[in-house]
């Protein structure tokens, strides 16, 4: 049964400000950066590597308004990212959260059972002090806690400016991370939501199960945890029994374990955003034309032109608070793992539950083409 509440029942053990950035391990950051610039409209922001005195890896920071993606590639087989990449392929290694104090966040999480990956570490240069610490979450994914209040530089100590030749790209106007979803193993969803409640002090505010989300073949269960200020929202999915293999199981097989399934990015004008992304060559999930036949009955009056939404294949969902518009890319790697969601919220704090049926049919079509149903 679906469940949704706006009530806060968590404990604010430490102050969460917002998502800070998402870091990816990738096989060849130089080329990946070109893709995220040309397809998704990111701007070069900062860089570390041999030229800035870092010997064992490179990291490129790309920016778009308040959205920061960091792409890291190891420069030798001895770097731990090499083993990570050989297991998972390109993907999200760190969902970094900006906090008021990285020491407090780390130590307080560890005191409630979190596994430390990096103890609180302050680095410093002429632009000020920068704090970072990290803990483990599902699979080989970590959360870094970032303290940058007293850092006035571009990114962090050790990073220099990133200057690259211009790349033609239409500006999609992406604003910030809305939510980041994790896929976990069978029967592990409640374990992880309990982890975020107990260790982070977050609240569970949405839950849906296989009676809410299932098609003929695919099924999943999902729960969403959030920070008190609503800035950090993290849905967690696990597979559920269907006639054939769940899309979550396909992910777990190809990612060789749990990991980040999708990053949802907010826009203030989804028609402009999807037009730009399509012009830039981004490949989105197909939406059947039949989806639009009953749309106005389902969602009532909305500000956007329905014909335009149909042309761009944008999905709409409504709940008691308002509505949202969204669309999902196909997986961004050859392994069917990570993808991106574009979302515009108009009052709704939901996740598009009403679209899951239409969407799953589309996902299953793709899964079938890969022979994984
Ligand atoms: Fe989502």
Top CATH class of 16-161 equals alpha beta
Structure-block tokens of residue 98: 């900006």
- Distance (angstroms) between ligand 1 centre and the Cα of 356 equals 10
* CA 96 – CA 356 distance, rounded (Å): 28
Nearest CA to 36 among 338, 251, 309? Answer: 338
pLDDT at 287: 87
Structure-block tokens of residue 130: 């920068």
- Distance (angstroms) between ligand 1 centre and the Cα of 346 equals 15
pLDDT at 286: 87
- Distance (angstroms) between ligand 1 centre and the Cα of 123 equals 34
Task: List, edge to edge, every strand of the sheet that includes 16-25.
Answer: 116-125, 128-136, 142-147, 91-99, 16-25, 67-74, 57-64, 43-48, 160-161
pLDDT at 295: 86
Q: Which residues contact 15 (CB under 8 A, 6 or more apart)?
A: 99, 100, 101, 104
Q: What is the chain's pLDDT, residue by residue, as a tens digit (373 residues)?
A: 678 889 999 999 999 999 999 999 999 999 999 999 999 999 999 999 999 999 999 999 999 999 999 999 999 999 999 999 999 999 999 999 999 999 999 999 999 999 999 999 999 999 999 999 999 999 999 999 999 999 999 999 999 999 999 999 999 999 999 999 999 999 999 999 999 999 999 999 989 877 766 666 567 889 999 999 999 999 999 998 877 788 899 999 999 999 999 999 999 999 999 999 999 999 999 888 888 888 888 899 999 999 999 999 999 999 999 999 999 999 999 999 999 999 999 999 999 888 877 677 777 778 888 888 7
Ion ligand 1: residues, Cβ under 5 Å: 264, 341
Crossing angle for the helix pair 356-369 and 247-255, nearest 10 degrees? 50
Structure-block tokens of residue 124: 């410093």
Domain spans of the chain, in order of start = 16-161, 171-370
Residue pair 236/182 in contact (Cβ under 8 Å)? The answer is yes
- Distance (angstroms) between ligand 1 centre and the Cα of 24 equals 18
- Distance (angstroms) between ligand 1 centre and the Cα of 113 equals 28
* CA 156 – CA 158 distance, rounded (Å): 6
- Distance (angstroms) between ligand 1 centre and the Cα of 341 equals 6
- Distance (angstroms) between ligand 1 centre and the Cα of 146 equals 24
- Distance (angstroms) between ligand 1 centre and the Cα of 324 equals 11
- Distance (angstroms) between ligand 1 centre and the Cα of 78 equals 35
Would you say the CATH fold of 171-370 matches that of 16-161? yes
- Distance (angstroms) between ligand 1 centre and the Cα of 238 equals 14
- Distance (angstroms) between ligand 1 centre and the Cα of 179 equals 7
CATH superfamily of this structure's domain 171-370 = 2,3-Dihydroxybiphenyl 1,2-Dioxygenase, domain 1 (3.10.180.10)
Q: Which residues contact 371 (CB under 8 A, 6 or more apart)?
A: none
- Distance (angstroms) between ligand 1 centre and the Cα of 208 equals 13
φ, ψ for residue 201, nearest 5 deg: 80, 15
DSSP 291: G
pLDDT at 216: 60
Residue pair 161/28 in contact (Cβ under 8 Å)? The answer is no
- DSSP H or E run through 21: strand 16-25
Task: List, edge to edge, every strand of the sheet that includes 259-267.
Answer: 3-4, 203-208, 220-226, 233-239, 174-183, 259-267, 339-346, 322-328, 315-319
Is the pTM above the cut of 0.85? yes
């Amino acid at each position: 049964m679906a469940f949704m509440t706006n009530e806060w029942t968590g404990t604010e053990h430490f102050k969460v400000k917002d998502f800070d950035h998402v870091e990816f391990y990738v096989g060849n950051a130089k080329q990946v950066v070109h893709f995220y610039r040309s397809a998704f409209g990111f701007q070069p922001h900062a860089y570390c590597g041999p030229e800035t005195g870092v010997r064992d890896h490179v990291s490129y920071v790309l920016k778009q308004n308040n959205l920061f993606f960091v792409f890291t590639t190891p420069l030798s087989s001895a770097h731990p990212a090499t083993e990570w990449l050989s297991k998972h392929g390109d993907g999200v290694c760190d969902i970094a959260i900006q906090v008021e104090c990285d020491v407090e966040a780390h130590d307080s999480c560890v005191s409630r059972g979190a596994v430390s990956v990096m103890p609180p570490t302050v680095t410093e240069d002429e632009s000020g002090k920068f704090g970072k610490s990290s803990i483990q979450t599902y699979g080989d994914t970590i959360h870094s806690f970032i303290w940058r209040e007293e850092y006035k530089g571009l990114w962090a100590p050790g990073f220099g400016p990133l200057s690259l030749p211009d790349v033609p790209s239409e500006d999609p106007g992406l604003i910030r991370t809305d939510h980041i979803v994790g896929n976990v193993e069978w029967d592990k969803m409640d374990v992880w939501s309990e982890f975020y409640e107990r260790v982070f002090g977050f609240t569970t505010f949405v839950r849906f199960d296989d009676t809410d989300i299932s098609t003929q073949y695919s099924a999943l269960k999902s729960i969403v945890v959030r920070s008190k200020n609503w800035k950090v929202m993290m849905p967690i999915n696990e597979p559920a029994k269907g006639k054939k293999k769940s899309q979550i199981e396909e992910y777990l097989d190809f990612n060789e374990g749990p990991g980040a399934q999708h990053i949802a990015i907010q826009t203030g004008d989804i028609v402009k955003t999807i037009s730009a992304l399509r012009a830039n060559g981004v490949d989105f999930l197909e939406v059947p034309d039949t989806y639009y036949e009953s749309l106005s009955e389902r969602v009532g009056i909305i500000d956007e032109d329905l014909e335009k939404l149909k042309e761009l294949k944008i999905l709409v969902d409504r709940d008691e608070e308002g509505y949202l518009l969204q669309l999902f890319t196909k997986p961004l790697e050859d392994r069917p793992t990570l993808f991106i969601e574009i979302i515009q919220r108009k009052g709704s704090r939901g996740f598009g539950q009403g679209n899951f049926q239409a969407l799953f049919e589309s996902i299953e079509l793709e899964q079938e083409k890969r022979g994984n149903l």
